[in-house]
Structure 1
Amino acid sequence: MPRKNITKIDPRKELSPYLNHQTTQNKGRKRSTKVSASLSGLKSERRKSLAKRLGIILGISIVAILMFGYYVSPLANVSSVQVEGASDLPAKEVISTSGIETCDKVFDYLFNKKKLSSKLSQKYPEIKSVDVEVKHLNHLILNVDEYPTIGYIKDGNNYRKILTDGAIGSRALPWAKVNQEKPVFVGYNHKISLKDNLKLFNSFPKDFREKVKLLSGSGTRKTQIILVMKDGNVVIGNIATLKDKIKYYDAIKSKAGKNSLIDLEVGAFSRPLTSNEKKAYGI
């Protein structure tokens, strides 16, 4: 009997198309799952971002509405004005000069501080700047920053401040309101320049400036300056040279003693003050 030819079949080869198809389907399902998850996450992030933006827009809108409502309401009208920091300036006059009225809006002055500061500075040389503060919705406070005071210049029976920028204060003050620690400048007019003597005074060392009680421009010569010291001595000097000679003051004073006239105008010598000189210099 003839032998039949037997064909060998590899099961894996026969199944491979099926297995490959299953693998491809599984990979497709995984990719589909990943893409779906990614899209879902993206949608969630977009919803969160949109909600955040809407929240911000809504918040800004609410604040804007509240601010507008406040601005148009009577609560935004200035109810009172207070001045702080202006030691010698009358508050009512400052407020009147500022032009602020009770029917004005608070915001108008908050957003125009520089204009208000400039207006008051032009009227009052003492004022360096003005800042505006609001309390209790509609109570305005004008915080005045003044120039420091170097000394005072005699004006009749009163005194005016000499400011660090060289300007003279607007207010004539009685002696009771003068800072006794600051020097007084006397005897100055259009013929005798306060500017030159003030420049000389500012050139002195700080510790020496603090010892000066009075500066007089009414010497026998236009170039002469007289300093009355707090220790009871009197210094006479020349405007052009006193700056360089003032360093000898302490050494000469220690030898001369109290109530002496220390002359540094030409050379450097001292002598006791006469009774008439003491009276003239207020010693």
Structure 2
Amino acid sequence: MRHDLQAAIDGEQLRLHYQPVFDNHRAIIGVEALLRWEHPVRGQVPPQDFIALAEETGQVIAINHWVLTRACSDLQLLNEAGLEGLAVAVNLSPLQFRRANFLETVRDTLNQTGIEAHQLTLELTEGILMHDTPNAIETLQSLRDMGVEVAIDDFGTGFSSLGYLKHLPVSTVKIDRTFVQGLPDNQEDGAILQGIIAMAHHLELMVVAEGIEHEAQHEFLLRHHCDAFQGFHLAHPMPFERLTRFLGEHRLASQRDAIDRSRRKRHSQA
């Protein structure tokens, strides 16, 4: 598997699919870049079958660099095609986030691809941020100084969410899909979601719910003032070529008023 993965990195077998993110008016505000491996024999290999190995071997550094560059380059193509105002979210590995040249890599990628810093959102899990928290906060602050947005992915699965969130210079929390799956019938999940949304809004953070698979889940989240939505019910991940057609057929958010107000207020308080 390690040998095959290196061949994939060297032989351009990696692909990005993009899943749109919608605001509360069903306008598209951005996309999340999702990694796919098209193995010549085994077919499509899901990330859960190789990312852990890539972390162990260090190959994830090259993979993450490729993902970041390709995602930003694709977004610039959308900008040039007149599909402006969108953001792209890229997942980071712990190894990449902790590398000494990480900030330089992000800065160089923005310069090389030409996208605006605020169009890039870097997604990190709670576990990354809870490890060596002082240094993590310093890195996050540097990203925000650059204008890059930071989101906490899979939010709610960590043990210290409520305690450490107020100290982190982040702009967004993405509610873990395990809390969305039981909606609207699971009262415990509903109560947790309402608490997360209320807490995040109190801290002037944007809230994204992922894993939405049917309309009842979407309606519950709308009623409780979630800011943005992602899931198969709204749009499946798709290759870049299909994404461009999809964006041309759907309404893009011309103004992200609620989100921008939240972020500006959060930044002004920093």
TMscore range, shorter length = under 0.3
More helix by share: 2
Highest Rg: 1 or 2? 1
Give the TM-score of the pair, scaled to structure 2. 0.21
Under a length normalisation based on structure 1, what TM-score does the superposition of the two structures give? 0.20
Larger RCO of the pair (alpha carbons < 8 Å, separation 6+): 2
